[in-house]
Amino acid sequence: MASFSTPALTVIGAGFLGRAVAEEAQRGGWRVHPVVRSEASAKQLQPKFPHVCADDAIAEGFWAKRVPSCEAMVWAMAPNRERPQDDFLLMHHQGAVRAAEWARRKGVRFVYISSTSVYAEDGGEWVDEDAPLAHDDPRAMAMVEAEKACLRSGGTVLRCAGLYGRERILRPDPEGPERWLNLVHVEDAARAVGWGLRQRGQVYNVCENEPRRRGKPGGAWPEKLRRARRNKKVSNARLRSLGWVCLKREESQP
């Protein structure tokens, strides 16, 4: 790279979080290459991100020939409700692992967006990055496999709590059993990616400083709304020790 050229960031998956990451990076002076899975998404992003492309970043062929040249990469791909055919396990078992291996070969800085849902805790206790993982959960283990590939590449893993903000408005949630809910505003999560790109080989929880209480004593999930939600309080102390600050905490809307 020439000494005065603009550094490039490839963002794999420019959905809710990925787009916020792309916007934050662009404001910071990066040339951003969002990679999305449909031409419709690419067309929507084109006015703001002229280097956007539509491609299948899960496929081996993408990593063999079609990855945009860059100095850093973020994996932020997530299932799309409008694409029921999206396979969560393939995204992480194959796509994210291939991304990490590509970053290792090219010497590119890499951040993998994981989730605080990988933790096994279900009794409402605090967890940090060294807490036991949910080995009985295939989705959690798919992310853990990708995390390991990321760490082997010298990259950074960010385990994000539930995302909200912008068009995702928090609403009261009286359903279900009494539990702790861990959240983070999408703009705080996007800023955490910037901190992650400056680190090497580490895992960080990305969440608000304190979890929120949800549900009701003695409550239960209605059968048709049964969800696998583990009850835990997630610590962000390791990330805050770098200097990251949670700037936004919106309250529920009625």
Q: Along the chain (254 residues), what's the average pLDDT of each consecutive run of 10 residues?
A: 73 96 97 96 96 96 95 91 68 96 97 97 96 95 97 98 92 82 97 97 97 86 62 97 92 72
Give whole-number Cα distances, 155 to 24, 73, 112, 113, 183, in Å.
19, 10, 8, 11, 24
Torsion of CA 169, 239, 110, 17, to 10 degrees: 0
Range of the domain at 27: 8-240
Cα–Cα distance measured from residue 34 to residue 217, given in angstroms and rounded to the nearest whole number:
44
The CATH number given to whatever domain includes residue 36 is: 3.40.50.720
Is 195 within 8 Å of 162 (Cβ atoms)? no
Q: Residue 95: which of 41, 142, 34, 140 has the closest Cα?
A: 142
What's the distance, CA 208 to chain centroid? 15
Any domain includes 183: yes
| Structural domains in the chain (count) | 1
Any domain includes 247: no
106: left (phi over 0), alpha (psi -120 to 50) or beta: alpha
Is 202 within 8 Å of 156 (Cβ atoms)? yes
Task: Name the pairing type of β-strands 212-214 and 179-181.
Answer: antiparallel
Any domain includes 234: yes
Alpha helix stretches (DSSP H) within 153-215: 186-197
Q: Indicate the pTM of the whole model.
A: 0.92
Any domain includes 2: no
Give whole-number Cα distances, 131 to 189, 231, 237, in Å.
21, 14, 14
Any domain includes 251: no
Amino acid at residue number 153 = S
Radius of gyration of the chain measured on its C-alpha atoms: 18
The total of other beta-carbon atoms located within 10 Å of residue 190's CB is 24
Cα–Cα distance measured from residue 15 to residue 88, given in angstroms and rounded to the nearest whole number:
15
pLDDT for the residue 1: 39
Any domain includes 151: yes
pLDDT for the residue 78: 87
Q: Phi first, then psi: what are they for 60, rounded to 5°?
A: -60, -35
